[in-house]
Structure 1
Amino acid sequence: INVIFQISLVHSLAFSAHVIVGTVNGTEAKPHSRPYMVSVQKNWLHTCGGFLISDEFVLTAAHCRKNSETLTVVVGAHDLKNKTEGSVCIEVKSYHQHPDFTEDPVMNDIMLLRKKVTQNEKVNWISIPIKEDETEVHSVCSVAGWGRLDNGSLSNRLMETHVKIMNHTKCENKWGKGDSGGPLVCGKTAVGVTSFGDPNLCNSPELPEVYMKVSAYLQWIHKFIGNQRNQRGFCRRKRRKERE
């Protein structure tokens, strides 16, 4: 995971971040300790992270899908190369990019992927904010992903690190491929989606990441998931998809 050296409130829709503990590459997560984590893949290769917010929807970054390409999601994984750990590969049924998403500059970089999963000890969704709110400056949060390590290699195993929210507006758009789309987690709530910064607005050498603020998009998110989150989304079991 290519981690951040600075987290700041960039504007009302986004954050950026600063690593406070661990190595630059983060540390390997305890296997299956983050059952909401999803690998978003193209042609069976990891492209982006994502996270379950119900039994039917993954939240990720809009830029992770280009040119109407077909994506799949892998749930229940820790080591993406380990085909015996019980992970499941699922085809995405529908794609919902934010209607105001733009790539230059990067704005509203958020997307919902619809699919059906079954809850177990390795697969579960994470809470999102229930109302639009600000994450307090200096809050200690965490990020995780299977992205590119500092030495240039890709991590097959889920990595994690801790970050601190900071009120600083200088940042630079430098990213580890594969970390995009994953969650910024504060406490037990996913408050951000890993995105990009705007290089025209940022001017810091410390390699920050920028996150779309989930609470700013609650109305849009609930247009799709409705009241599902109040119905304990995983209680209806369904035959598991084919395993990979």
Structure 2
Amino acid sequence: MIIIITLLLLGSLVSNLSFTASVNVRIVNGNEATPHSRPYMVSVQKNRRHVCGGFLISDQFVLTAANCRNNTEILTVVAGAHDLTNINENHVRISVSTYNRPPEYNPDLWSPIIADLMILKLATNVQLNNNINTIPIPLRSREIKVNTNCSVAGWGFVANGGPLSLTLREANVKIKNNTNCAARWGQIYVAPQMMCVYGSGGSCDGDLGGPLVCDNTAVGVTSFSSSNRCNDPNLPNVYTKISAFLPWIQSILTT
């Protein structure tokens, strides 16, 4: 699924400067991950084709981005994969029983893209093993220190315009100062709910919904970036801050 939106830079950016932002982002300038070194990663698929990343936060729930689905699409989740085309990996495909998005999320509101989270409840609990496992999320609201070493991963495009990667790729990134993020993106950057990163590699098309991982904890969900250039330092990749939505997440997990 390719979703491209056109927004107007506001606030501290130059007035009347227009740009496009993509909510379907991918790993560029990264490396192939060691197979199954990130067992929490899942491929979110439509019609058996990869559309987004996601990650297991329990044996029944996957966290991804709200923009990965419109209100009518049927999605499935593939867990335990490294090479999405390798049937000998014994990865598993699971149906989704419910799609849950925060009440603040508005699919018709593209500027700013707020509350870009979705929790998929799986139709059957996944069997956890060496290749399929969960990743913790923050237990309380907190800010990640600037320049903290983190990482992103996904099966998205490896360069502007493609192609998609068949194998899971990863890149190291660092947390960027919120003030700088807001200066780059203007008023569409909502600091209490978002965070952005910098690095030689990063997310691009097809990686929407994947985790931003710091200290072995998923702290963000890949949300949007520049559509003109993957991992553009002038418009850094933006992630939804998981800790800003902990009460809502807990309410879904305990329903």
Q: Which band: TM-score by shorter chain?
A: 0.7 to 0.9
Q: Distance in 1 between matches of 2:110 and 2:171?
A: 29
Matched, 1:71 2:75: yes
Counterpart contact for 1:53–1:126, Cα < 8 Å? yes
- Structure 1 counterpart of 2:209: 181
Q: Which residue of structure 1 aligns with residue 11 of structure 2?
A: none
- Paired AA for residue 195 in structure 1: S
* CA displacement, residues 75-118 of structure 1 (integer Å, 9 cap, x when unaligned): 00000011110100111011001111134121110000001211
Q: Which residue of 1 aligns with 2:116?
A: 109
Cα distance in 2, alignment partners of residues 111 and 100 from structure 1: 12
Aligned sequence identity (%): 54
CA distance in 2: counterparts of 1:53 and 1:24, whole angstroms = 25
- What residue number does 1:20 align with? none
Residue identity matched to 1:148: F
What's the secondary structure of 1:192's corresponding residue? strand
Shift of 1:68: 1.9
Which amino acid letter does the alignment assign opposite residue 205 of structure 2?
A: K
Contact 2:204-2:225 within 8 A present in 1 as well: no
Using the TM superposition, give the Cα deviation of residue 224 of structure 1 relative to its aligned residue in structure 2, in angstroms. Answer: 1.4
- Aligned letter for 1:107? I
C-alpha distance in 2, partners of 1:68/1:52?
23
Matches of 1:141 and 1:45 in 2, distance apart? 28
Could you tell me the TM-score, scaled by structure 1's length? 0.77
Q: Deviations over 1:44-73 (max 9, x none)?
A: 000000000001100000000013210000
Change (3 A) 1:207 1:26: farther
The answer (yes or no) to whether the contact 1:47–1:177 under 8 Å persists in 2 is: no
Structure 2 residues without counterparts, runs of 5 or longer = 1-26, 189-202
Question: Partner letter of residue 192 of structure 1?
Answer: G
- Do 2:149 and 2:173's aligned partners in 1 also have CA atoms closer than 8 Å? yes
Structure 1 outlier segments of 4+, above 6 Å: none
Which residue of structure 2 lines up, in the alignment, with residue 52 of structure 1? 56
Normalising by structure 2, what TM-score? 0.74
Task: Give the counterpart of 2:246 among 212, 218, 240.
Answer: 218
Q: What is the CA RMSD across the aligned residues, in angstroms?
A: 2.2
Structure-2 residue corresponding to 1:7: none
